[in-house]
Structures are given as C-alpha cells and as structure tokens.
Amino acid sequence: MIWMTWRQHRAEMLVLTGIVAVAGLILLMQGLSIRGLFPDGAAACANSDVTNGDSCAQALSKLSDGYGHPEPISFLATLMPFVIGAFLGAPLLGREFEAGTWQLAWTQAVPRLRWLAVKVTVLAGLTVLLTLAFSAMVTWYRAPVDTFDGRLGQVGYEVEGVAPVAYALFAFAVATVAGVLLRRSLAGLAVAAAAFVMARIAVASLARPKFASAMTVLQTVQDKGPGDTRGTGNAGDWVLGTTFVDSSGHKLSTATLDKLSGDAANAGVSIPAYFQQHGIHRAVSYQPGDRFWHFQWIESGLYVGAALLLVALVAWRVRRRSL
C-alpha cells in the first residue's frame, strides 16, 4: 500500500519537496544578507541605549526599507501550509473518483478503511515533515527581524513555530473532504482554499486575541494626544487596542475626547497637558510577547482537532459508500 501510494502521488510529493527546497535556498541567501547588516548580532542593536549608533542606525534603516524583503517573503510564506496540505489532500480521493479507480481499489483484498488509513498516514506525514522543515527555515530567516518586532501578533506568528504544521494538516483535511464531496481534485482545491482562508481569518480575528486574558497598561498622554500610537514599550507585545480613560478608569467616548480637545484649545493649553491635568490616561490593551508558545499550542490544537474531525468524516463516507 505504501508503494502504491508513492506511485499514485509521487508527482505531488516531488514537486512540493522541490518547492520547499527552493524556498529554503532563497531564505538562506536572504537570511545571510539580513544577518550581514548586524555583524555583532541583532540583539546588540535591540538595546535602546545603542540604537542611535551609526552602524545600528544604518542597519535598522536598511531593514525597515525592506532589505532582504522580510515582510513580503513572510507574507508569501503564509501560503505555504495551504500549498503543501491542499495539494496532497485534494487528489487523495478526488482523483480516485475522477478516474473511477476507486471501484477497483475497493474490491481488492485490502479493506477500504485500511487502504484509506495508509494513504492518509503517508500523505499527512509528508505534510508534517515538509511544513516543519519550511517553518524551521522561516524561523531562522526571521530571527533578526523578530528581535525588533517580536513574534506574537506579527506576521512571524503564522509562519513560525508549530502553527504552520497545524494549518497544513487542516488544509490537507479540508481538501480531502472537498475532493470526496465534489469528486474532483481541482474543484476540491478551490473549495478548500475558500474554507481555509475563512477559517484562518475567523481564528486570527475572533479567537486568537482571547486565548488568554489581555493585559492593560496605563500611560501618560504625550505630545500627540488622542493620535498617540505608542505601543507598550516592548516591541514583542501584541497591542490589541487603545482607549482613553478618566481618573476613575472609565473609558472615554470619541465625542468626549473631541470635547476635551476643544476645551484644551479654548483654554490655550496643549492637549497632552490638559489631559494630564484632568487625570486622563492612555490605556493600552495587549497580549505579552512571552505568550507566543502558549498561543501557538492552543491554536494548533484547534486546527489539528478540526483536521481529525474532517478525516473521521472522510472515513465514515468511504465506509458507507457502496460500490
């Protein structure tokens, strides 16, 4: 059965392995270029006391200007788990139905559930191995960038750690189900892509911010007043939102802030000074950057759990289907 699975899916296996290898080579070259900006290591420039040095200032300027293209590359890397998982999952059964070979496969001596289990194990295992390898490459590539931007709430969160593996397994399962229901590989890929994107958006925007109780820090209003966009002071923290509160801790509405800003102008006082006189603070809601792995395991559990349910649905469908 393993040999048969290889014969049936070797094209996808080889192409995807080649894609990961080429991507790894690109990441290696670009990663070395980024590291070349920081001869003493990015951590040496992360200290606020030394970032004004000429070498660090120049390196940070080049990095922010897209040297090594870390953000575009990281964005493209978010697509890789889907590419790996879906391109292995969609033809798993979709191609069998397209070609009609399922009728022959399911009348052999090997029970159909055992036949399915071997194929799923081999292809899902390859999905894990390829995605793990790619995630390790991206983690190495982004290490200098993560020193300044952090990993939680940034692009790096979705391309580093164990989450990409969970995304790939989910894509594999969704594509497999779509292939079974639609009985077409390409149609299954299209449906899987839509389902994958919707699930990722829903989890990232609705579930992920609530994986743990957010923390809040109060800050003195500074020169930009309500337009102040400071974070928490720690680049690795994930800022969820900013509000302004009065001395009692009550949130101030936009209308109230506009009125206070107008009162400050009428009194001839700067907005920050007026806010400080009235005990108004900037409240920043955030998730600490050290929760990266905590969030990774929770999110991975969600996607792997969903993938297992989808694979169980496929097994039920295969078992119930008559010849």
Identify the domain containing residue 223 by its residue range.
Answer: 215-289
* Residue 192 and residue 261 in one domain: no
pLDDT for position 323: 41
* Residue 130 and residue 191 in one domain: yes
* Residue 165 and residue 99 in one domain: yes
* Residue 133 and residue 252 in one domain: no
* Residue 257 and residue 302 in one domain: no
Q: Determine the straight-line distance between the first and last CA of the chain, rounded to whole angstroms.
A: 20
pLDDT for position 2: 62
pLDDT for position 45: 82
pLDDT for position 105: 54
* Residue 42 and residue 60 in one domain: yes
* Residue 166 and residue 223 in one domain: no
Taking the CB of residue 246, how many other CB atoms lie within 10 A of it?
A: 15
* Residue 277 and residue 130 in one domain: no
* Residue 109 and residue 183 in one domain: yes
Instruction: Look at residues 284, 230, 280 and name the one whose alpha carbon lies nearest to residue 257.
Output: 280
pTM of model > 0.75:
yes
Taking the CB of residue 314, how many other CB atoms lie within 10 A of it?
A: 20
Could you give the CA distance from residue 306 to residue 313 in angstroms, rounded to a whole number? Answer: 11
* Residue 141 and residue 178 in one domain: yes
* Residue 100 and residue 233 in one domain: no
pLDDT along the chain (323 residues), means of 10: 62 90 92 85 70 72 75 85 92 70 56 79 94 94 86 84 96 92 85 94 93 90 62 81 86 86 83 84 89 95 96 85 50
pLDDT for position 310: 95
Burial 137-151 (b: 16+ CB within 10 A, else e): bbbebbbbbbbbbbb
Instruction: Look at residues 3, 205, 155, 174 and name the one whose alpha carbon lies nearest to residue 84.
Output: 174
DSSP conformation class of 290: G
Q: Vertex 170, ends 167 and 175: CA angle to 5°?
A: 125
Query: What is the tally of structural domains in the chain?
Result: 2
* Residue 308 and residue 232 in one domain: no
- pLDDT per residue over 9-44, tens digit each? 678 889 999 999 999 999 999 889 888 888 878 887
Please answer whether residues 286 and 240 qualify as being in contact, where contact means their C-beta atoms are separated by less than 8 angstroms: yes
